Amino acid sequence: MPQFDCICGEDDRVILSRIQNLDFPSYVLKNPCCWRRVCQVQAKYTEHLASGIWSEVCKLRVRSPRPPTIEDEAAQLRQAQLQTDSLVLGEIMDEELRERLEPLFQQESLALDRIIREASVLLEDRLRDLAGAANALSGVRLVDATLRPSSCSIRFSDDDSEQDGARFLYRGAMQFVRNPPMHRLVSYPEATGRALVRLTDCLLVLLSQAAEQSMRAQ
């Protein structure tokens, strides 16, 4: 149950002072056990109360917010999650990736491994499509066949060592980002999962830019 101030354990004199000064923490007057305790003190010390003060307490109770429920807190957490997800989606540069991930981010239960799997499949498919590679090629075999300096279909750099660096970058993405969620269920920490989504987004953008430059160079 969500936590809030409870006055049930307070001394009669303290609660009497609260009544006289209309001094109650938030939610207390709508909390059934606290309200019973306040009513007990009121009944016991009626002669000590100023005229009309109890009527003011009752009015205050009507205006007071009800205690938050577990459902309220869950809704607040979900709303905060949706705001965070919106920020992540807003940061994604690749339009197709954003369109594919948006429905997954909107699901009640956010499975980051499914999101990373979808992003990785798009990266692999984009590389295959832009390079005109055979469907049988996948993962690191696809990367080596399309980005190796001696036979690359997509060139990131005229410098072979830099081109090889790009190849190893995409090799690493296949091995470290794509493979784990493709072969098993993975419980990613939230920060890690979102970082991998951003990384895949960057790789998609760089790949599309390199493919476009390669076509112009032909």
Q: According to the model, what pLDDT value does residue 19 have?
A: 93
Residues whose CB falls within 8 Å of the CB of residue 160, separated by 6 or more in sequence, listed in order: 149, 150
Main-chain phi, psi angles of 138, to 5 degrees = -155, 165
pLDDT tens digit sequence for 94-118 = 999 999 998 887 776 778 899 999 9
Secondary structure (3-state) at 205 = helix
Q: According to the model, what pLDDT value does residue 1 have?
A: 40
Same domain, 209 and 152: yes
Same domain, 115 and 140: yes
Same domain, 144 and 213: yes
Which residue would you say has higher pLDDT here, 213 or 76? 213
pLDDT tens digit sequence for 9-59 = 999 999 999 999 999 987 888 888 899 999 999 999 999 889 899 999 999
User: Does residue 71 form part of some domain?
Assistant: no
Strand ranges inside 45-173, DSSP E: none
User: Does residue 74 form part of some domain?
Assistant: no
Q: Buried (b) or exposed (e) across 99-135, using 16+ Cβ within 10 A?
A: ebbeebbeeeebbbbbbbbbbbebbbebbbebbebee
- Percent of the chain, pLDDT > 90? 61
Structure tokens of 129?
A: 């499509």
Main-chain phi, psi angles of 9, to 5 degrees = -90, 0
Q: According to the model, what pLDDT value does residue 43 have?
A: 93
- Percent of the chain, pLDDT > 70? 87
pLDDT tens digit sequence for 184-203 = 999 998 889 889 999 999 99
Same domain, 143 and 207: yes
Q: According to the model, what pLDDT value does residue 66 have?
A: 74
Q: pTM higher than 0.75 for the full model?
A: no
User: Does residue 68 form part of some domain?
Assistant: no
pLDDT tens digit sequence for 52-93 = 999 999 999 888 877 666 776 665 655 555 555 555 777 889
Q: How far apart are CA 34 and CA 15, in angstroms?
A: 10
User: Does residue 59 form part of some domain?
Assistant: yes
Q: According to the model, what pLDDT value does residue 159 have?
A: 95
User: Does residue 72 form part of some domain?
Assistant: no
Q: How far apart are CA 178 and CA 19, in angstroms?
A: 63
Same domain, 48 and 108: no
Q: According to the model, what pLDDT value does residue 23 have?
A: 92
34: nearest Cα among 54, 11, 13, 9: 9
Structure tokens of 86?
A: 């919106």
Same domain, 190 and 148: yes
Same domain, 112 and 22: no
Q: Which domain holds residue 184?
A: 80-217
Structure tokens of 172?
A: 């690493």
